[in-house]
Structure 1
């Protein structure tokens, strides 16, 4: 060990962000193993390394005891005082036992151990960096694809985009650059494993924070998001400043802001709706782009029956029920959608069954009809 070696350690600290003290600790542990391996010692061995010159010294340590039972590990008080009068019972005596050629042997034997410890330290640095970045957005380049897993180059390390977190139908090619969300960081024996996602709703949230300054600054807030990745997303927003239009802020001039997000998600449709404290208004907004005529809510069961124009029933429900399903997830309410004709037929049926009194108005009857029906299940 010499000054050049110390310089090399300082360079490693600078380039890899690993404290030289961590490397010195690893070296001292490795040198103890090296000494015992080469010299077959059963002594308690202590290795000290000068952090300026790189000089290495090996010491045998012995405990000062009143009666010696093991002369390899213990020393009598009288013998200790011959070395230094200040020793007392219970003290530990250090006796230098550095072999003449230990520097060469130590360097050879410890090399692989030191390299491994440096790798471990690098992994810890990477883990500590990414564990605090869970749920953050990150940009990476596709490095390789193996067994349907997409491996992303993140600079100091790589992350994995598993099949479950990929957008259905999205094509991944080596060299492509993607924005992803850091879903989870795991500590494994092979180093930190960084799980990335393209399908998580958090990605949409972070993209809006990037593209919409009003969201980033807290003037506009995201209330909730429901998403079927690769197909459609609904996002509910509201403004904390009455002078700021939340819808306009998210859409941007000529739709530039939302277009940037849609492009990043390869054409995924995005519905931006206004959140309202009035649940009937929020439910009506959530079914955008369909027009809503009436919303009857059941606060106790958190369910609602929504009446839409006859010609917009299919639009309100959406392809395979997607629009209604996303609206239910967005509002966290059960939603049943009826056309105006279905709503009126339900009222007429109840009248025929004699469930309403003669004095009820048509509107009262329709209200009771809905209460009696208890239509609370969301559309499949």
Structure 2
């Protein structure tokens, strides 16, 4: 009995990653449950489990009182002192009450309880592992699909990819290997439930951290991300090291780094721009690939008016306003775009020094579409 029990504990600890203490607590709780259920007892009992001999003993615990009202839970001071003359009122007396056939009955009844406790411990381990990975990226394998979710295997557990978190330009099939962003880990009665996304801006950020060593080691910092998943994204980057080109680091030799991310996102276009603490420069950069003539800032309203050449107005606004919308998200400034002609009509004249500044800045900006196509 003892060797079998020890072997079982060792196997469960090794294969399931559950500590021996948790397993022993589960077994003792199961034996208490078995005793009360099979022998119709309601005493406060304790199980003494001897792992060396494999023996199991049941002890009833009773409080010493002057007057007994419930003999199942209490014992008189007189009776307690017959056992040991040192007992005092409010002490606890333990008396062995192990039934003769307890071992056989306990084994049958305890099995289900032990299994349940082991399952709960496994769920707790999985939850602890994945709660630390919220807002992180993992590679999973598509298992199955229904009208609400795609079920993605992350090894120990299946994650849920909701319809609204799926990229519109992707079609998923069982056994597809995809990278997902963990958005939420919930503890439920059926175990941990993990929700993942393919559209979250955090996925793009994590992909750059994987592909760009300078971001991973902190030399280059991602300042902000704006994304319309499956279509276009913008990302702003910065480096405190004047010798490091943050945009060039993200692009990689011949665009290989950004190309790997574009491939993972099934062709999603990516604009990489240089961040600046000056809103004039940053807003202009955010509107890449369009050329900007001037930016007028209204600090109180957190708003800007941007002047662009007449022939660049549609490019600055983008298809269905996408470029301007993403630029506003990226910079966190409201952006009102006006053509040069329209600006002059209302009394806004682009400053020559600003035009020169943006001409110089254009040389550093990278827009994936133009460079790679």
TM-score normalised by the chain length of structure 1 = 0.89
Cα separation, 2, equivalents of 1:52 and 1:183 = 47
1:44 shift after superposition: 2.1
User: Does structure 1 conserve the Cα–Cα contact (< 8 Å) formed by 2:235 and 2:330?
Assistant: yes
User: Does structure 1 conserve the Cα–Cα contact (< 8 Å) formed by 2:169 and 2:266?
Assistant: no
Q: Tell me which residue corresponds to 1:300.
A: 300
User: Does structure 2 conserve the Cα–Cα contact (< 8 Å) formed by 1:6 and 1:53?
Assistant: no
Q: Tell me which residue corresponds to 1:227.
A: 227
| Structure 2 counterparts to residues 1-380 of structure 1, below 5 A | 2-347=2-347
Q: Tell me which residue corresponds to 2:365.
A: none
Cα separation, 2, equivalents of 1:37 and 1:278 = 74
1:51 shift after superposition: 3.1
1:363 shift after superposition: 7.3
RMSD: 1.6
User: Does structure 1 conserve the Cα–Cα contact (< 8 Å) formed by 2:60 and 2:94?
Assistant: yes
User: Does structure 2 conserve the Cα–Cα contact (< 8 Å) formed by 1:235 and 1:272?
Assistant: yes
Instruction: Select between 34-43 and 121-130 the one with higher mean Cα deviation.
Output: 34-43
Figure out how many residues of one structure are paired with residues of the other and give that number: 351
Deviations 1:292-330 (A, max 9, x none): 111111111111111111111111111000000000111
Instruction: Select between 164-173 and 255-264 the one with higher mean Cα deviation.
Output: 164-173
* 1:148/1:52 CA distance change after superposition, 3 Å: same
Q: Which has the larger radius of gyration?
A: 1
User: Does structure 1 conserve the Cα–Cα contact (< 8 Å) formed by 2:294 and 2:350?
Assistant: no
Q: Counterpart of 1:160 in 2: which secondary structure?
A: strand
Cα separation, 2, equivalents of 1:262 and 1:52 = 61
TM-score normalised by the chain length of structure 2 = 0.91
Q: Counterpart of 2:346 in 1: which secondary structure?
A: helix
Instruction: Select between 219-228 and 27-36 the one with higher mean Cα deviation.
Output: 27-36
Larger RCO, structure (CA 8 Å, separation 6 or more): 2
Unpaired runs of at least 5, structure 2? 352-373
Cα separation, 2, equivalents of 1:43 and 1:189 = 29
Deviations 1:65-118 (A, max 9, x none): 122233222222232222223322211111111112111111111111111111
Cα separation, 1, equivalents of 2:316 and 2:25 = 66
Deviations 1:32-71 (A, max 9, x none): 1211211111322222212333321111121111222332
Q: Counterpart of 2:145 in 1: which secondary structure?
A: strand
